[in-house]
Structure 1
Amino acid sequence: MTRVAPVAPITHVFVLMLENHSFDNVFAMSGIPGISAATKNDYNEINDQKYFVQGSAPLSMPTDPGHEFADVVQQLTGRAGPLPSVAPYPPIDNSGFASSYSTSTSETPHTPPHPEQIIDVMSCFDTRHQLPAIYNLATQFAVCDHWFSSMPGPTWPNRFFVHGASSSGFDDSPTKPQMAGWELSGFKYPNGSIFQRLENANIPYRIYHDAQANGLSLYSDDANSGSKLGAITQVSALNGISMLDMHSLGSFANDLQGPYPYGYTFIEPHYGNLANGTYAGGSSQHPMDDVYGGENMLSAVYSAIRNSPYWNTSLLLVIYDEHGGFYDSVKPGNITAPGDNPSYGYNTHGFDFKTAGVRVPAVAVSPLIAPGTVDSTPYDHSSVPALLEALWGLPALTRRDAEANTPLHLLSLSTPRETLAALPTPIPVIKGTRARLAPMAEAAILSGPVPDSGNLAGALAILRKTDAELSAQGLSLAPPDIALKAKAALSRIDAELYAASVLERVHLMRVQRRRAKTAAGTP
Structure 2
Amino acid sequence: MPPIRRLFVLMLENRSYDNIFGWSDLQGLTPDGVPTRADGLSGKPQFVNIGVNGNACSVDKDAPYQLNVDLGHEFLDVLVQMSGNPDAAMSKGQYPTLAASANALGFAYNLGLHAADALRCFTPEQLPVLNFLAGEFAVCDRWFASMPGPTWPNRFFALAGTSWGLDHSPSTIQTVEANLFDGARFGNGSDTLFTRLTPQEWLIAYGDTPQSWSLKGIERSSQRFLHHQELINALRNGQLDASFIFIEPTYDPIGHFSSGQSMHPCGDVRKGEALVARIYNAIRESRYWEESVLLIVFDEHGGFFDHVIPDDTVVPASQRLASASPTSLTQYGFRFDRYGFRVPAIVVSPYIKAGTIDHTFYDHAAIAKTLAPIVRRQKPPLLTTQRFAQANDFWRVLTLREPRRNIDPCPAVSAPHLSPASIRPPSQSVAAFGTINWPGGSFYGGA
Q: For residue 338 of structure 1, what is the aligned residue in structure 2?
A: 317
Counterpart check, 1:71 vs 2:71: no
Distance 2:343 2:443 in 1: 31
Distance 1:457 1:53 in 2: 31
Q: For residue 166 of structure 1, what is the aligned residue in structure 2?
A: 162
Distance 1:306 1:86 in 2: 51
What is the DSSP-based 3-state SS (H/G/I as helix, E as strand, rest coil) of the residue aligned with 1:99? coil
The equivalent position to 2:118 in structure 1, one of 116, 121, 125, is 121
Letter in 1 for 2:370: L
Letter in 2 for 1:311: W
CA displacement 1:342-381 (0-9 Å, x = unmatched)? 6984111111111111100000000000100000000000
The structure with the larger Rg is: 1
Distance 2:117 2:172 in 1: 32
Q: For residue 33 of structure 2, what is the aligned residue in structure 1?
A: none
Distance 1:422 1:324 in 2: 30
The equivalent position to 2:421 in structure 1, one of 436, 439, 456, is 436
What is the DSSP-based 3-state SS (H/G/I as helix, E as strand, rest coil) of the residue aligned with 2:132? helix
Counterpart check, 1:416 vs 2:403: yes
Q: For residue 222 of structure 1, what is the aligned residue in structure 2?
A: none
Q: For residue 31 of structure 2, what is the aligned residue in structure 1?
A: none
Distance 2:84 2:287 in 1: 50
Distance 1:310 1:357 in 2: 34
CA displacement 1:311-345 (0-9 Å, x = unmatched)? 11110000000000000011100322222526984
Q: Per the alignment, do residues 145 and 26 of structure 1 end up closer, same or farther by CA in structure 2, a change over 3 Å counting?
A: same
CA displacement 1:233-256 (0-9 Å, x = unmatched)? 100001122465421111222202
Q: Using the TM superposition, give the Cα deviation of residue 428 of structure 1 relative to its aligned residue in structure 2, in angstroms.
A: 5.8
Alignment of 1:346-357 (within 5 A): 346-357=329-340
Residue 169 of structure 1 contacts residue 347 of structure 1 at CA under 8 Å; is this kept in 2?
yes
The equivalent position to 1:36 in structure 2, one of 22, 35, 39, is 39
Q: Per the alignment, do residues 42 and 190 of structure 1 end up closer, same or farther by CA in structure 2, a change over 3 Å counting?
A: farther
Q: Which structure is higher in RCO with an 8 Å CA cutoff and minimum separation 6?
A: 2
TM-score (norm 1): 0.74
CA displacement 1:74-103 (0-9 Å, x = unmatched)? 101112236233633223224334333xx2
Distance 2:435 2:332 in 1: 23
Moved more, 247-256 or 185-194: 185-194
Alignment of 1:146-225 (within 5 A): 146-177=142-173, 178-179=175-176, 181=179, 183=182, 186-189=185-188, 192-199=191-198, 204-210=201-207
Counterpart check, 1:461 vs 2:438: no
The equivalent position to 2:3 in structure 1, one of 9, 34, 50, is 9
What is the DSSP-based 3-state SS (H/G/I as helix, E as strand, rest coil) of the residue aligned with 1:98? coil
Letter in 2 for 1:236: W
Q: Per the alignment, do residues 393 and 32 of structure 1 end up closer, same or farther by CA in structure 2, a change over 3 Å counting?
A: same
Q: For residue 45 of structure 1, what is the aligned residue in structure 2?
A: 50
Distance 1:130 1:197 in 2: 40
The equivalent position to 2:299 in structure 1, one of 321, 329, 344, is 321
The equivalent position to 2:62 in structure 1, one of 56, 76, 89, is 56
Residue 98 of structure 1 contacts residue 119 of structure 1 at CA under 8 Å; is this kept in 2?
no
Q: For residue 30 of structure 2, what is the aligned residue in structure 1?
A: none
Q: Per the alignment, do residues 331 and 137 of structure 1 end up closer, same or farther by CA in structure 2, a change over 3 Å counting?
A: same
Flag the structure with higher helix content. 1
Q: Using the TM superposition, give the Cα deviation of residue 9 of structure 1 relative to its aligned residue in structure 2, in angstroms.
A: 2.1
CA displacement 1:462-486 (0-9 Å, x = unmatched)? 12xx45xx9xxxxxxxxxxxxxxxx
Q: Per the alignment, do residues 436 and 459 of structure 1 end up closer, same or farther by CA in structure 2, a change over 3 Å counting?
A: closer
What is the DSSP-based 3-state SS (H/G/I as helix, E as strand, rest coil) of the residue aligned with 1:316? strand
Letter in 2 for 1:59: Y
Unmatched 5+ residue regions in structure 2? 28-36
Give me the CA root mean square deviation. Answer: 2.7
The equivalent position to 2:350 in structure 1, one of 340, 358, 367, is 367
The equivalent position to 1:96 in structure 2, one of 75, 97, 105, is 105
CA displacement 1:391-444 (0-9 Å, x = unmatched)? 32331330101110011011100000125364114456798xx9833xxx99xx
Q: Using the TM superposition, give the Cα deviation of residue 260 of structure 1 relative to its aligned residue in structure 2, in angstroms.
A: 2.0
Q: Per the alignment, do residues 86 and 59 of structure 1 end up closer, same or farther by CA in structure 2, a change over 3 Å counting?
A: farther
What is the DSSP-based 3-state SS (H/G/I as helix, E as strand, rest coil) of the residue aligned with 1:341? helix
Distance 2:412 2:81 in 1: 32
Residue 176 of structure 2 contacts residue 183 of structure 2 at CA under 8 Å; is this kept in 1?
no
TM-score (norm 2): 0.86
Q: Using the TM superposition, give the Cα deviation of residue 310 of structure 1 relative to its aligned residue in structure 2, in angstroms.
A: 1.1
Moved more, 141-150 or 43-52: 43-52
Distance 2:90 2:229 in 1: 47
Q: Per the alignment, do residues 72 and 259 of structure 1 end up closer, same or farther by CA in structure 2, a change over 3 Å counting?
A: same
Q: Per the alignment, do residues 291 and 157 of structure 1 end up closer, same or farther by CA in structure 2, a change over 3 Å counting?
A: same
Q: For residue 126 of structure 2, what is the aligned residue in structure 1?
A: 130
Counterpart check, 1:294 vs 2:278: no
Counterpart check, 1:260 vs 2:240: yes
Distance 1:119 1:435 in 2: 23
Q: Per the alignment, do residues 149 and 419 of structure 1 end up closer, same or farther by CA in structure 2, a change over 3 Å counting?
A: farther
Q: Using the TM superposition, give the Cα deviation of residue 50 of structure 1 relative to its aligned residue in structure 2, in angstroms.
A: 2.6
